[in-house]
Amino acid sequence: MTAAEKTFLSHPFDDDKLKEECGIFGAIGLADAANFVALGLHALQHRGQEAGGIVAHDPIKGFNSAHRFGYVRDNFTKASLMESLPGPLAIGHVRYSTAGSKAAVIRDIQPFFGEFSMGGCAVAHNGNLTNAESLRRELIDHGAIFQSGSDSECIIHLMARSFQKTHADRIADALRRVEGAFSVIALTRTKLIGVRDPLGVRPLVMGRLGEQGYVLASETCALDIIGAEFIREIAPGEMVIIQDGKIESSRPFHPATPRFCIFEHVYFSRPDSQIGGRSVYETRHQIGVELAREAPVEADLVCPVPDSGTPAAIGYSQESGIPFALGITRNQYMGRTFIEPTEHIRNMGVRLKLNVNKSLVRGKRVVLVDDSVVRGTTSRKIKEMILDAGAAEVHFRIASPPTAWPCFYGVDTPDRGKLLAARMSEEEMREWIGVTSLKFISLDGLYRAAGEAAGRNDACPQYCDACFSGDYPVAPSDQIGKGFAMKKAAE
């Protein structure tokens, strides 16, 4: 990095969230399927902003692909590029970053493609393999040449070494060898294939469009953008093979109790997506209601930290009767970086994105609702801004329990030592952030908001909540090999 580049300001604000690492979308039976995939990926952009890729297949022109850094809207909207991706079958992927790689390289962008003796196959993976590192070493010892730093590439190499005769059977073979969380879509010359891991940690839904068209997507909002009808979720442990307008379903894995990621409800999924029959927005609204019941406070205004805290803040306001207001405005022209002027600007990183509406909060007792606290650094800066604007009191209410454990299933989390809740009690956090009060929703409250009236079933939890509970449904073997300490029974 040159001196000049160092003067650029990195963005602390974005860094203080957990990040979903991927969104996937596939289409079959639709003319120029890649155009639908581009739209679907655009609707899933919140699941990965770093890069995107599309592989398409055309009976005459064969397999074609494009992998690009940047937003879908900036790449897959160009006529020349989209014309290079012809055919009625296509899959795509948007990504945040892979677990292992430090620097972004184009070879890490999915879908990955392999030429097999029975023909080519492209694979896109949402999730994370917890035994990828040992698999990789083993594969290299047996002559595999890895082209990317992405763990997902293991799937293609395992397929290449399978003795099965069809792509689908090879995918099943390969996925039986991996551990962790995965929703996978794959494309052959004639088939669109979708698979979810036995726990169903990451989402995958199916939709229909027109006579013969089917699509697979991470979330239902990607069906809405193209006007597709939502059929159903792919079940945990299910594989679907779509060809010629027909869907074939099978269960290639040992059965297991599902553990869907509860953080999809809290933050990752778009509020207008439907999960398990209800909208994410309603769950978030209900979290606010539960939070108002669990952690009431006397105050003048309920303000969301935009935009992810908004539905919970509305719920909190409606349950508590305290008026709701947009006390913090978000700059909709999201800037990555600006050059910091010589004269230092206090909290510049946050200012680029957020501004407090001074005349609204001046002298007021403000309840501030945010979705989560990760490192806590941004919470602290927002608190400073709102106090600078003259608020009398600041009461933080958090729409998730304390995030105290890293996720190893496809979410970008800091090391445990960087998680505020792993190092401090609630009161210590309150003091460090510097607010009048700080309350998190309880794990049971969160489960209730998500529709589990009786709260969490500790004997057999309904969700994966490892980031809150330390209860990992799949042992993260690579991490354990590197010394990661699992929660003890007593902890």
Give me the active site residues, please: 22
53: closest CA among 134, 110, 116? Answer: 110
Cβ at position 134, least distance to a copy of itself in Å: 13
CB nearer a copy of itself, residue 3 or residue 489? 3
Amino acid at 339: I
- Running DSSP on this structure, what letter comes out for residue 8? B
Cβ at position 464, least distance to a copy of itself in Å: 23
Cβ at position 161, least distance to a copy of itself in Å: 4
**Is the separation of the CB atoms in 250 and 239 below 8 Å?**
yes
308 is in an annotated binding site: yes
- What per-residue string of b and e applies to 370-381 under the rule 16 or more CB within 10 Å gives b? bbbbbbbbbbbb
Tally Cβ neighbours within 10 Å of residue 72: 25
CB nearer a copy of itself, residue 147 or residue 249? 147
444 is in an annotated binding site: no
Secondary structure class of 115 (helix, strand, coil): strand
Tally Cβ neighbours within 10 Å of residue 169: 16
303 is in an annotated binding site: no
| Rounded CA separation 181/130 (Å) | 8
| Rounded CA separation 406/400 (Å) | 15
Cβ at position 488, least distance to a copy of itself in Å: 36
Cβ at position 376, least distance to a copy of itself in Å: 23
CB nearer a copy of itself, residue 386 or residue 467? 386
CB nearer a copy of itself, residue 140 or residue 485? 140
| Rounded CA separation 131/120 (Å) | 26
CB nearer a copy of itself, residue 155 or residue 421? 155
Alpha helices (H) in 400-473, listed in sequence order: 420-423, 426-433, 443-449, 466-469
**Is the separation of the CB atoms in 297 and 274 below 8 Å?**
no
Instruction: Report the alpha-carbon angle 142-129-113, nearest 5.
Output: 60
148 is in an annotated binding site: no
Cβ at position 71, least distance to a copy of itself in Å: 6
- Only one residue has tokens 């445990």, namely 416
Burial (Cβ within 10 Å: 0-12, 13-18, ≥19) of residue 417 = exposed
221 is in an annotated binding site: no
> Where is 325: in which H helix or E strand?
none
CB nearer a copy of itself, residue 338 or residue 432? 338
**Is the separation of the CB atoms in 204 and 194 below 8 Å?**
yes
Cβ at position 311, least distance to a copy of itself in Å: 7
Cβ at position 151, least distance to a copy of itself in Å: 14
Give the orientation angle of helix 280-294 with respect to helix 310-320, to 10 degrees: 50
| Rounded CA separation 242/223 (Å) | 17
In degrees rounded to 5, what are phi and psi of residue 476? Answer: -80, 85
| Rounded CA separation 430/424 (Å) | 9
List, in order, residues 6 or more apart from 184 with CB less than 8 Å away: 24, 123, 124, 125, 126, 127, 155, 171, 175, 193, 194, 195, 196
Q: Which residues are annotated as a binding site for Mg(2+)?
A: 308, 370-371
Q: Which residues are annotated as a binding site for [4Fe-4S] cluster?
A: 261, 407, 464, 467
Q: Which residues are annotated as a binding site?
A: 261, 308, 370-371, 407, 464, 467
